[in-house]
Amino acid sequence: MLSNRLKNITPSYTIGISKRVAEMKADGIRIIDMSIGEPAFDIPKASKAKGISAFESGYTHYDLVPGLLPLRKAIAEKLANENGVHYDASEIVVSSGAKQAITNALLAALNPGDEVIIPAPYWTSYPEMVKLCGGAPVIVQTDASSDYKITEAHLKAHFTSKTKMLILNNPSNPTGNIYTRDELLSIADFCVQNRIWILSDEIYESLVYDTKFVSVASLSEQAKSIVFLVNGLSKSAAMTGLRIGYTAAPAPVAKYLSVIQGHLVSHPSTVSQWAAVGALTEGQDEMKERRDVYKKRRDIIYDKLCTIKGLSVQKPEGAFYFFLDMSPYKQKFPFSEHYSVELCDTLLNQEHIAAVPGIAFGKDDFIRLSYAGDLNDMLEGLDILKVFLEKYL
Ligand SMILES: Cc1ncc(COP(=O)(O)O)c(C=O)c1O
């Protein structure tokens, strides 16, 4: 009776793990949670103040579908000042999290059966979102030789007459890798020449540690004309529960995103939007301080991971994850079907450590550890992980 669309949709692994961790904690078990995809920080003070004042001022009614004008202006200013890419407020649509921004873009771009190139490892929801919007995900495996990033050569090898879009996650969840300007130039050139949209998911853009982040839309007017630039406040301002994301796109495209959103949800919560105005206009310093905290944490954890025998660790350049290759332990670890799932199940049930299986990102030999939670807990967890893994060498 239900839609065929649901037949091959997989529930979110990450949400499934969070649920199990919550259940185990409710049973009184202490879990060291390295599966989390959200900052443990509170929202910036300015966000809180603006949100409270919005409630008190009665800003709780319907407003403009693409988002509050002061918010869209603040986003346009942020994109110009920090990313060197110029959009008018009319080219910005504020949505309920980056998830909805991505869904709006897919609904706007895809006809049934259109192919969307998704480099693996990928953020777990992309393939399912593409399927839900009627498209066909084309998973392109990448490896260490390109730092797990897609290249023009990959695109050439997988491009067909049905290719409609490339999803580029920069910085990447799960690897934390960042595309250089030159890498983006060759990808953008190929996509411009072959009329392929680029959905550039830049949700981790504020968490970049060693290099300067380059937004693909900032490369040229031609590049900008094919980009749906998606970002939001979930990771930068820890506003995960307030659900504010946005898309910047050429004016005629933004108009359609607004039409889609108008029918689906109207707009995100007005109170959350005012909180986002606070973050973008007065919360920048606090957000930068947090980035510095994450950078220090990344370095400490990297050093600790490097002491685990058999593990080769790539230092992530951004986001708050380590994506670890578990293949050295595979031979001796007893598993029947999905190595990363069974490894993470054992870690959770036996060692009380939560990690996300790589299969959720299209790579079954890997696991993802997040350092967004408590540092001391994580260091304790890594001691346990070291003893656990070295048994399988
Ligand atoms: C790469 C990536 N894109 C989008 C999202 C969704 O962000 P939001 O919570 O703003 O919908 C996430 C959340 O984990 C993510 O990792």
pLDDT of res. 296: 96
Q: Give the span between the Cα atoms of 320 and 173, in whole angstroms.
A: 8
pLDDT tens track for 31-42: 999 998 889 899
pLDDT tens track for 230-255: 999 999 999 999 999 999 999 999 99
Other beta carbons less than 10 A from residue 8's beta carbon: 9
Q: How many degrees, rounded to 5, is the angle at CA 170 between CA 104 and CA 206?
A: 95
pLDDT tens track for 127-137: 999 999 999 99
Closest CA to 10 of 139, 131, 99: 131
Going from the Cα of 203 to the center of ligand 1, the distance in angstroms, rounded, reads 6
Q: Are 359 and 341 in contact (CB under 8 A)?
A: yes
pLDDT of res. 13: 80
pLDDT of res. 175: 98
pLDDT tens track for 27-80: 999 999 999 888 989 999 999 999 999 999 999 999 999 999 999 999 999 999
pLDDT level of residue 302 (50, 70, 90 thresholds)? very high
> What residues are paired with 137 via a beta bridge?
116
Which DSSP category does 33 fall into?
E
pLDDT of res. 116: 98
Going from the Cα of 332 to the center of ligand 1, the distance in angstroms, rounded, reads 35
Q: Give the span between the Cα atoms of 382 and 380, in whole angstroms.
A: 5
3-state SS, residue 123: coil
pLDDT at position 14 over 90:
no
Q: Give the span between the Cα atoms of 126 and 115, in whole angstroms.
A: 13
Place of tokens 């060197």: 84
Q: How many degrees, rounded to 5, is the angle at CA 177 between CA 173 and CA 181?
A: 125
Residue to probe by mutation, ligand 1, list 94, 207, 234, most atoms within 8 Å of CB? 234
The DSSP code sequence of 308-375 is STT---PPPSBTTEEEEE-GGGTTTS--SS-HHHHHHHHHHHHH-EE-EEGGGGT-TTEEEEE-SS-H
Which is the closest atom of ligand 1 to the Cα of 37? 14
Q: Give the span between the Cα atoms of 124 and 122, in whole angstroms.
A: 6
Q: Which two tokens stand for residue 128?
A: 């399912």
pTM, full prediction: 0.97
Domain residue ranges in the chain: 4-42+285-390, 46-283
Q: What is the average pLDDT value for the chain, to the nearest integer?
A: 96
Going from the Cα of 12 to the center of ligand 1, the distance in angstroms, rounded, reads 12
pLDDT tens track for 86-132: 999 999 999 999 999 999 999 999 999 999 999 999 999 999 999 99
Q: Give the span between the Cα atoms of 131 and 203, in whole angstroms.
A: 21
pLDDT of res. 63: 97
Residue with CA nearest ligand 1 atom 16? 173
pLDDT at position 16 over 90:
no
Going from the Cα of 328 to the center of ligand 1, the distance in angstroms, rounded, reads 30
Which is the closest atom of ligand 1 to the Cα of 101? 11
- Topology classification of domain 46-283: Aspartate Aminotransferase; domain 2 (3.40.640)
Q: Give the span between the Cα atoms of 234 and 333, in whole angstroms.
A: 36
- Topology classification of domain 4-42+285-390: Aspartate Aminotransferase, domain 1 (3.90.1150)
Q: What are phi and psi of 3, to 5 degrees?
A: -65, 145
Q: Give the span between the Cα atoms of 40 and 37, in whole angstroms.
A: 9
- The tally of CA atoms less than 13 A away on the side-chain side of residue 85 is 26
pLDDT of res. 155: 98
3-state SS, residue 12: coil
- Beta carbon of 231 within 6 Å of any ligand 1 atom: no
Residue with CA nearest ligand 1 atom 7? 98
- Beta carbon of 174 within 6 Å of any ligand 1 atom: no
Give the type of residue at 193.
Answer: Q
Q: Give the span between the Cα atoms of 36 and 368, in whole angstroms.
A: 10
- Beta carbon of 38 within 6 Å of any ligand 1 atom: no
- Beta carbon of 94 within 6 Å of any ligand 1 atom: no
For the chain, the straight-line distance linking the first and the last C-alpha, in angstroms and rounded, comes to 50
pLDDT at position 8 over 90:
no
pLDDT of res. 80: 98
Name every residue whose Cβ is closer than 8 Å to that of residue 9 and which is 6 or more positions away in sequence.
128, 131, 132
Closest CA to 314 of 168, 214, 204, 178: 178
Give percent of the chain above pLDDT 70: 100
Other beta carbons less than 10 A from residue 256's beta carbon: 16
Q: What are phi and psi of 265, to 5 degrees?
A: -140, 5
Report which of residues 15 and 183 the model is more confident about. Answer: 183
